[in-house]
Structure 1
């Protein structure tokens, strides 16, 4: 039961990553919500970096689905634990760029905490 609930939660996280990746790829101005002040979404060079971020998010989300389909809950849990590094890194980037602390902790920190909880549930299930 716990394994099923945690796997569904991991799937929701994967779907969220795919959604954010597609959104950032199709609408780079959405990057303003990331938390870095003065985000120049009209700059072609910066938009290229946004595409890198979009593909990172899309790839991570798809990888969650690959693991759900073909691996054990335990392996999915280890991947989710490793994936926690991404929102923690994003939080640090926002804080280092003097972005809003509410975004750093409320978006990126909360995302890291949720992924961490799901990974622990998968590892103990």
Structure 2
């Protein structure tokens, strides 16, 4: 079970790093794919805010890799459970903004559930 948790953690880390990088390199594309309704057109201010989000995503992906290298499945699992709140918060933000229900549940909600399952695999497997 721990190996499954580590594989999923690695995939999640790579995905988060990709998404964070996309907010830096192609902010308009990344913003459009996020699911928030009536997102404003790209501007200097919006691009700066999207870069802030990208930086935080990149840091979150690096945290996962750091904890994977640490060799403590329980600590990694606990981190993943807490980190799932980011995906669920994104889901709530998309829903609250009148964005696509499919994007909110299918992208952000499903991601949150996968992160919870990953954390559970790591925690239960560590005992």
What is the DSSP-based 3-state SS (H/G/I as helix, E as strand, rest coil) of the residue aligned with 1:84? helix
Q: CA offsets per residue over residues 1-52 of structure 1, 9 Å max, x none?
A: x111211110110110001001111000121010112222422111111111
1:20-31 map, 5 Å: 20-30=19-29, 31=31
Q: Distance in 1 between matches of 2:41 and 2:17?
A: 20
Query: 2:86 & 2:121 partners in 1: Cα distance?
Result: 19
Report if the CA contact (8 A) 1:88-1:109 is conserved. Answer: yes
Question: Could you tell me how far apart the structure 2 residues matched to 1:7 and 1:60 are?
Answer: 16
Task: Name the stretch that deviates more: 35-44 or 106-115.
Answer: 35-44
1:42-72 alpha-carbon deviations (Å, 9 max, x no partner): 2211111111111111111011000011140
- Residue 74 of structure 2: aligned partner: 74
Separation in structure 1 between the aligned mates of residue 90 and residue 35 of structure 2, nearest angstrom: 9
Q: Any unmatched runs of 5+ in structure 1?
A: none
Runs of 4+ in 1 over 2 A off after TM superposition: none
| TM-score (structure 1 length as normaliser) | 0.95
Cα distance in 2 between the residues matched to 1:109 and 1:35: 12
Q: Measure the CA separation in 2 of the matches of 1:39 and 1:69.
A: 38
Matches within 5 A, 1:13-24: 13-24=12-23
Could you tell me whether the CA contact under 8 Å between 1:80 and 1:118 is conserved in 2?
yes
Q: TM-score, normalised by structure 2?
A: 0.94
- For residue 84 of structure 1, what is the aligned residue in structure 2? 84
Residue of structure 1 in register with 2:40 after alignment: 40
Structure 2 gap segments, 5+ residues each: none
* Matched-pair contact (CA < 8 Å) for 1:17–1:60: yes
